[in-house]
């Protein structure tokens, strides 16, 4: 059937409209694609160029040089040494075990180190360099370099590692570094990407730990070209980052070395030397000590076992961590509490018959026969316990505790060393909170002679001696400057105490050492203008009183001594504890005297500083000490102030 003209025209018109719509749509899509292509090629060209670069260029972190640590005179205490090491790339080595066997024919590698390297090789990608052995000699590096053609995939390398040139002398002060561990990452609130670098070293103890962020520095970076598999092809650029801050401490290396050597004669001991004028800690000694370099390099199981199983506890920083009954070194504070409360006069005497009775219990004096009539000066000179039993009953524990805290007992000082203890300065509130019971008068009597619940560290006792000598609330300071910026002296304000009361106590301490009936008379200084004032102490570690010679070493009394010198114009204060050393007058006082004289003299004290009948003995003692002779001053550090 033939279509009429109108139907044909209508169909053509419909087709034309559809063609126009379809053509318009096609033109629209083409225009949109063109616009998008222009946007991507022109307007977003930089963005896509960067993404393309990311496919072939990687950024790698560069560990910065760790900040250095110096003593007050610029002697390096912690530095960075070149670490010669041997690395292996598995894909270049082929048969890894065969390659390592050939390497061991050239240089010695112990089995433990080899096992550790094989484990690391198995964990890493085949193109990642793995350290086989480190801290090698230059001779080892040269031997590997000469034999390089026979050692495919094995190459020598060099980096930086921590070194402590004075090893044991500052182990407890500086601490040590070690590779960052999963435990470190879990406890540190630190998102620094440096911590993700394998074997990156961070501070583990001491100043190294407390000043970690300052010493660490800021990461550098290098731009490297890699292929599709991620293998490094070439280095395109490098930024070495910012080295860590240098620290200068207040300690003095020669004095520290002498202190450590002198303490070592006492088996297990600690001492703190403090400048009474500004609070600078000049020496913080512990015996026995340990070599921190062993921890940096990876201490062996046997070496670590020797340290942890040693009954003299070489890993413990006894000077700041140890909390001991202060014994009679505490008596000056009891006397000051009584004087300050108006409950004691200097001329008043107490009769000592060898004990006091409280209820059905006798509190004995160390001198069984008693001291007779005792005034304040004589009570310190001869360390009469009965005198302080009487004062404790008059004054009460709360006043004693308040005075003791004024002198640093029971205070945790903010120092960059590990586990600084607050000790214990008890009072009525403390015992109620801690044990849920009331304070008894007998507890006050024990506290008055530095026993019972009272515990103090050698650091706190040194602060106490410094404050007694200076009459100020001086605070201990260990860090002198950070990158040349001085750390301020804190707490040099006068104590809120009557100067006459302080003078009475100082006179008693002078009599302890310089009166022929004083408990430390044998440890006097025989040199005009450099006389020492001090106080002996003996603290019991068991309740039953028996001779120290009749019990094992660990059950013997602790020996303590605190002092300052010169008496007329104090400069230095010292505290010494000899663990289980017996009497403070025989074990601790001679050590403190030697340390103070070294501090005053700046070197081994002259023999004429000692009583004439002791000079031969002292000369032999000095000859037996293991003293360093190679202290080398260095630069005082960079300054970014």
CA 457 – CA 418 distance, rounded (Å): 14
Determine the longest span between alpha carbons in the chain, in angstroms: 152
Helical residues (DSSP H) of 309-440, grouped into ranges: 318-321, 331-340, 376-381, 385-395, 397-406, 428-435
φ/ψ of 345, rounded to 5, equals -120, 160
- Cβ(219)–Cβ(191) under 8 Å? no
Q: To 10 degrees, what angle do helices 428-435 and 397-406 make?
A: 100
Q: Are strands 269-275 and 355-358 parallel, antiparallel or unpaired?
A: unpaired
Residue whose entry in the numeric block shows the structure tokens 């031997």 = 143
Distance CA 278, CA 275 (A): 6
What are the residues whose beta carbons fall under 8 Å from the beta carbon of 16, sequence distance 6 or more?
none
Q: What angle do CA 141, 142, 144 make, to 5 degrees?
A: 65
Contacts of 97 (CB under 8 A, 6+ apart): 118
**With contact defined as beta carbons under 8 Å apart, do 621 and 592 qualify?**
no
Cα–Cα distance list, 430 to 19, 398, 436, 461 (Å): 97, 10, 9, 21
Q: Is the dihedral of CA 33, 35, 41, 44 positive or negative?
A: negative
Residue reference for tokens 């600690």: 270
**186 given a catalytic annotation:** no
Six token digits for residue 172: 């407890």
Cα(186)–Cα(590) distance, integer angstroms: 47
**Residue 480 in tokens:** 């002198």
- Long-range contacts (CB closer than 8 Å, 24 or more residues apart) made by 487-496: 489/278, 489/279, 490/279, 491/279, 492/277, 492/278, 492/279, 495/406, 495/467, 495/471, 496/406
Round to whole Å and give the CA distance between 272 and 263: 11
Q: Which of 558, 562, 548, 557 is nearest to 520 (CA)?
A: 562
Three-state secondary-structure class, residue 169: helix
* CA gap 162, 551 in Å, rounded: 44
Determine the Cα–Cα distance for residues 132 and 84; give it in Å rounded to an integer.
11
Q: How many CB atoms lie within 10 A of CB 332?
A: 24
Where does 385-518 show beta strands of DSSP type E?
479-482, 485-486
For 354, the token pair is 């060898």
Q: Which one of the listed residues 253, 268, 289, 328 is annotated catalytic? A: 328
* First-to-last C-alpha distance (Å) of the chain: 105
The catalytic residue positions are: 328
């Amino acid at each position: 059937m033939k279509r009429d003209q109108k139907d044909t025209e209508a169909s053509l018109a419909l087709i034309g409209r559809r063609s126009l719509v379809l053509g318009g749509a096609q033109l629209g899509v083409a225009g949109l694609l063109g616009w998008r292509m222009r946007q991507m090629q022109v307007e977003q060209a930089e963005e896509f160029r960067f993404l393309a670069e990311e496919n072939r260029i990687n950024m790698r972190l560069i560990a910065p040089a760790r900040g250095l640590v110096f003593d007050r005179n610029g002697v390096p205490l912690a530095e960075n040494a070149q670490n010669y090491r041997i690395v292996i790339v598995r894909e270049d080595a082929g048969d890894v075990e065969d390659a390592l066997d050939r390497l061991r024919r050239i240089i010695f590698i112990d089995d433990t180190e080899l096992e550790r390297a094989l484990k690391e090789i198995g964990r890493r990608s085949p193109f990642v360099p793995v350290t086989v052995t480190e801290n090698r000699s230059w001779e080892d590096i040269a031997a590997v370099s000469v034999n390089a053609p026979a050692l495919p995939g094995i190459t020598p390398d060099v980096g930086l590692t921590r070194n402590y040139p004075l090893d044991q002398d500052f182990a407890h002060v500086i601490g040590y570094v070690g590779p960052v561990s999963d435990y470190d990452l879990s406890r540190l609130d630190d998102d620094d990407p440096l911590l993700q670098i394998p074997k990156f070293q961070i501070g583990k103890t001491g100043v190294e730990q407390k000043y970690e962020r300052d010493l660490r520095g800021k990461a550098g970076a290098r731009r490297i070209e890699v292929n599709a598999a991620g293998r490094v092809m070439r280095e395109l650029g490098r930024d070495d980052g910012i080295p860590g801050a240098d620290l200068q401490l207040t300690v003095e290396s020669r004095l520290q070395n002498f202190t450590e050597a002198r303490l070592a004669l006492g088996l297990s001991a600690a001492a703190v030397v403090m400048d009474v004028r500004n609070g600078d800690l000049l020496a913080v000694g512990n015996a026995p000590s340990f070599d921190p370099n062993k921890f940096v390099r990876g201490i062996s199981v046997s070496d670590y076992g020797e340290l942890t199983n040693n009954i003299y506890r070489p890993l413990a920083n006894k000077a700041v961590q140890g909390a001991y009954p202060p014994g009679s070194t505490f008596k000056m504070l009891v006397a000051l509490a009584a004087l300050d409360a108006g409950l004691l006069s200097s001329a008043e005497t107490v009769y000592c018959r060898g004990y006091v009775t409280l209820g059905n219990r006798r509190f004995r004096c160390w001198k069984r026969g008693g001291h007779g009539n005792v005034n304040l000066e004589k009570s310190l000179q001869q360390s009469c316990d009965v005198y302080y039993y009487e004062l404790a009953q008059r004054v009460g524990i709360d006043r004693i505790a308040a005075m003791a805290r004024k002198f640093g007992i029971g205070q945790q000082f903010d120092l960059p060393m590990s586990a600084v203890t607050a000790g214990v300065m008890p009072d009525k509130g403390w015992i109620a909170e801690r044990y849920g019971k009331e304070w008894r008068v007998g507890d006050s009597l024990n506290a008055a002679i530095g026993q019972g619940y009272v515990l103090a560290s050698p650091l706190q006792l040194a602060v106490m001696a410094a404050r007694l000598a200076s009459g100020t609330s001086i605070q201990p300071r260990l860090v002198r400057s950070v990158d040349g910026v001085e750390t301020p002296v804190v707490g040099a304000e006068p104590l809120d105490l009557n100067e006459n009361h302080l003078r009475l106590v100082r006179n008693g301490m002078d009599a302890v050492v310089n009166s022929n009936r004083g408990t430390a008379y044998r440890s006097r200084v025989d040199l005009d203008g450099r006389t020492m004032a001090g106080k002996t102490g003996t603290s019991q570690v068991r309740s039953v009183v028996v001779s120290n010679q009749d019990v094992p070493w660990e059950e013997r009394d602790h020996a303590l001594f605190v002092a300052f010198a010169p008496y007329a114009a104090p400069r230095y204060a010292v505290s010494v504890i000899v663990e289980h050393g017996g009497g403070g007058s025989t074990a601790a006082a001679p050590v403190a005297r030697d340390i103070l004289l070294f501090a005053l003299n700046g070197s081994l004290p002259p023999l004429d500083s000692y009583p004439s009948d002791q000079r031969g003995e002292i000369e032999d003692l000095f000859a037996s000490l293991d003293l360093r002779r190679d202290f080398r001053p260095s630069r005082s550090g960079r300054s970014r102030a």
